[in-house]
Amino acid sequence: MQNAKRGVTRRRFLQSSVAGVAAAAIVPRNVLGQGQTPPSEEFGGALIGCGGRGGGTFGCLGPGVRRLASCDVKYKDRCDNKTFYVDFRRLLERKDIDVVAIATHPGWHALISIAAMEAGKDVVCEKPMCRFIAEGRAVAEAEKRYGRIFQIENKGPYHADKVRKIFASGLLKNCDSVYVQRGGKKVKQWSGMVQYKVLEVPDSLDWDLYCGPAPLRPYQRHRQGGTHRGYWDYEGGGLSDMAHHQLHGPAYQFGRDLTAPVEVIPHAPPAHPECCGLWGWCELKYADGFTLVLDSAEWDKAYDRLPQRNLDEGSLMKMLSEEDQAKIEAMPTPEPEPKFPEAIRTRKQAAANAERSHHVAMIYHLANVAFRCGRPLKFDPHTEQIVGDEEANRLVNQPMRAPWRL
């Protein structure tokens, strides 16, 4: 059946609403045989960014997604704008693509995610969600504006427990607990090259489009592939690469996905303006007193400024009055949010949705801003701006090379 006015297929129309998704499953799986996906449940998918993480990211779209196209700036020699694309904008014009996986370098994550959701696609995006804080807010707003499903990689679902309820309740006003996340940041591994030899751009690579909203630098192979992580133009070093993996679970449990730090204290050597480098630790303090510490274990001595506190439910409940304890016990346990494959069929918000992932990403983005500025910072979680520090705010909302903009 075809809607003559809008050119919308019946399957795509049904997928656009909760009721439609329920109605679309009209062919039981057992009719087709074990492991077969009914045509009414199949989605057209595409991968944007086909490097090392591409296949894994596309797999997060789940079963029942058929890969119709691939897009990468290294496809100049094979681009046919049918199966292989160089420019993601051409791919997003296709009406038969329902979901996209984004595995480009993070300098592109936000702009492509927003464009995909505006084009009516649901999105799985590699971590980190964005390169700087204002981009994360823009992705979260786009998720709401266009009513799409967005998820960072394949995180969650997270099961709500009493610790989560305690922090989410807002009843814990003076929590002096300290959580230290130590090591595993690949800080030295993903440091940039301060000096490098300029090379010829490969014929198959659209280097201008690779750089995208970042400055157009001379080509060097080290800026491409996994080592792109060592340059502020495209990512934020090993911290941006690994912190989302390590922090998403604890951030959910301790309610850090609901707000942002108010004070950031760095301990690091002077940062290079172009290349990511070594750092020691960073304290991120929240308005409720909770302190999160990122310790690289790769520079200077281990963090020892504040003692770690127990964060089990028994210790946290003792910080509350008997009246507030009773309120926690009476609170219902929220239903866990689904992973992406279930979310796109039920139209329920995914576990690692954009709003939650934005708050997780702000943790390590703020740490990187403090490392780059070399001083403590005050942050306003409501305006998502550094307080009284314009130099630092230029790293919160960074300029983009024309014609790209948020």
Asked if residues 17 and 103 have their Cβ atoms less than 8 Å apart, the reply is no
Closest to 254 (Cα-Cα) out of 293, 217, 282: 293
Where does residue 19 fall: left (phi above 0), alpha (psi -120 to 50 degrees), or beta otherwise? alpha
Confidence at 160, pLDDT banded by 50, 70, 90: confident
Enter the CATH code of domain 2-152: 3.40.50.720
Name 399's Cβ contacts closer than 8 Å, sequence gap at least 6: none
Instruction: Write the single-letter amino acid at 36.
Output: Q
Helix (H, G, I), strand (E, B) or coil at 85: strand
Distance between CA atoms of residues 359 and 355, nearest Å: 7
Beta bridge partners of 71: 48, 85
Sign of the Cα torsion 303, 304, 305, 307 reads positive
Instruction: Locate the DSSP E strands across 61-170.
Output: 65-71, 84-85, 99-102, 122-125, 150-152
For the whole prediction, is pTM greater than 0.85? Answer: yes
Model confidence pLDDT, tens digit, residues 189-230: 999 999 999 999 999 999 999 999 999 999 999 999 999 999
Confidence at 87, pLDDT banded by 50, 70, 90: very high
For helices 354-373 and 237-253, angle between their N-to-C axes, nearest 10 degrees: 130
Helix (H) or strand (E) holding 180: strand 178-182
Domain boundaries, given as residue ranges, for the chain: 2-152, 162-336+353-396
Model confidence pLDDT, tens digit, residues 243-256: 999 999 999 999 99
Whether pLDDT at 18 is above 50:
no
DSSP character at residue 316: H
Model confidence pLDDT, tens digit, residues 343-358: 999 999 999 999 999 9
| Percentages of the chain per state (helix, strand, coil), in multiples of 5 | 35, 15, 50
To which residue do tokens 């020699």 refer? 77
Closest to 127 (Cα-Cα) out of 59, 57, 52: 57
Q: What is the mean pLDDT of residues 302-318?
A: 92
Q: What is the mean pLDDT of residues 60-73?
A: 97
Asked if residues 70 and 90 have their Cβ atoms less than 8 Å apart, the reply is no
Model confidence pLDDT, tens digit, residues 253-283: 999 999 999 999 999 999 999 999 999 999 9
Q: What is the mean pLDDT of residues 133-140?
A: 98
Model confidence pLDDT, tens digit, residues 330-346: 999 888 889 999 999 99
To which residue do tokens 């014009």 refer? 93
